[in-house]
């Protein structure tokens, strides 16, 4: 009986931690804390998006790849899902769709901040 209870406790603890995981992480940078992918690639927001809607078309997505959600991903709290222009689900934080920048080559690069006056690191 004790083994069953311990196993149930472990299962509950691992299920809760998996459920509570955010799709992105905060990384400390020279610009303060910014959101990144799990591989450390900086995430950006686009001023031309509207809350809950991506306005980055196919050409835009070639330079600013969407931060796509895995199949079966579920929105939780401030993290929501929106459709990219290619129809795939992407992550949004506080209603703002999130993107990466094609010219960022390694973890921690933030070369997309301020591009065109409409791209900003996600904070």
The domain ranges of the chain are 22-121
More confident residue, 75 or 15: 75
- pTM here is 0.83
Residue labelled with tokens 């992918």: 37
DSSP-derived pairing of the beta strands 79-83 and 89-93: antiparallel
Per residue in 22-57, pLDDT (tens digit) is 999 999 999 999 999 999 999 999 999 999 999 999
* Residue 84 pLDDT: 97
């Amino acid at each position: 009986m004790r083994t069953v209870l311990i196993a149930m406790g472990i299962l509950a603890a691992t299920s809760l931690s998996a459920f509570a995981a955010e799709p992105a992480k905060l990384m400390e940078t020279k610009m303060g804390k910014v959101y990144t992918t799990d591989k450390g690639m900086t995430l950006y927001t686009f001023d031309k998006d509207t809350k809950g809607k991506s306005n980055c078309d196919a050409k835009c997505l070639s330079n600013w790849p969407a931060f796509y959600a895995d199949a079966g991903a579920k929105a939780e709290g401030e993290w929501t899902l929106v459709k990219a222009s290619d129809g795939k689900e992407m992550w949004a934080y506080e209603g703002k769709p999130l993107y990466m920048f094609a010219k960022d080559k390694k973890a921690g690069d933030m070369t997309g901040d301020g591009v065109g006056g409409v791209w900003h690191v996600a904070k």
